[in-house]
Amino acid sequence: MQGLLSLPVVLPAIQNDDFLRIHDVYLISALAAWILVMILFVLAWALIGSFMIPIMYRQRCGAWQAFTLVIRLIAAHGGEILLYCLFWIVLALASAMVGCVAACATCCIVAIPYVGTVILLPVFVCFVHFVVVSPAIWP
C-alpha cells in the first residue's frame, strides 16, 4: 500500500533526475499528502480494530459481520467517535511522556524489554481496556 501511495513522488524522480530539485513544492505537497493518507489509514485501522474485537465477542459473530457493524456504528455516532479518537491522541501523548519520564528516572532500565513491560504495565492495560463505550451506542 505504501508503494502505491509513493508512486506520485517516485515516478517523476525516476523519469527526470533534476525534477525533485526544480519542483520542491511538488515534493513537499506529495510527501504531506502521503503522510496524511497514512495517518488516516492508521486511524481507520485503530478504530476498526478497537471496536471489532468487542463486537465480535459480544455479538458472537464473524469478522465481516463485525466490520459492517463497526462501519455502521462509526457512521451513526460520528461525534462520539471523534471525541474517542481525540482522547486516544491525548492518551498516546501522555503515555509517551510517562515512558520518557520512566526512562529518565530509571536510567534507561525501562529500555530492557521485560523490565520495561512490567514497569509500564498499567499504561499498556489502560490502552487495552480503554474500549469502554456507552452501552447506548452498541448494536
Q: Are 56 and 69 in contact (CB under 8 A)?
A: no
The 10s digit of each residue's pLDDT in 25-53 is: 777 777 788 888 888 888 888 877 788 88
Q: Which domain holds residue 135?
A: 78-139
Together in a domain, 59 and 112:
no
Q: What is the pLDDT of residues 52-100, one digit of tens each?
A: 888 888 888 999 998 898 888 888 888 888 888 888 888 889 888 988 8
From 56, 54, 49, select the one nearest 85 (Cα to Cα): 49
| Domain identity same for 63 and 2 | yes
Q: How many domains does the chain have?
A: 2
Q: Read off the C-alpha cell for 97.
A: 511522556
Q: Which residues contact 121 (CB under 8 A, 6 or more apart)?
A: none
Q: What is the pTM of this model?
A: 0.63
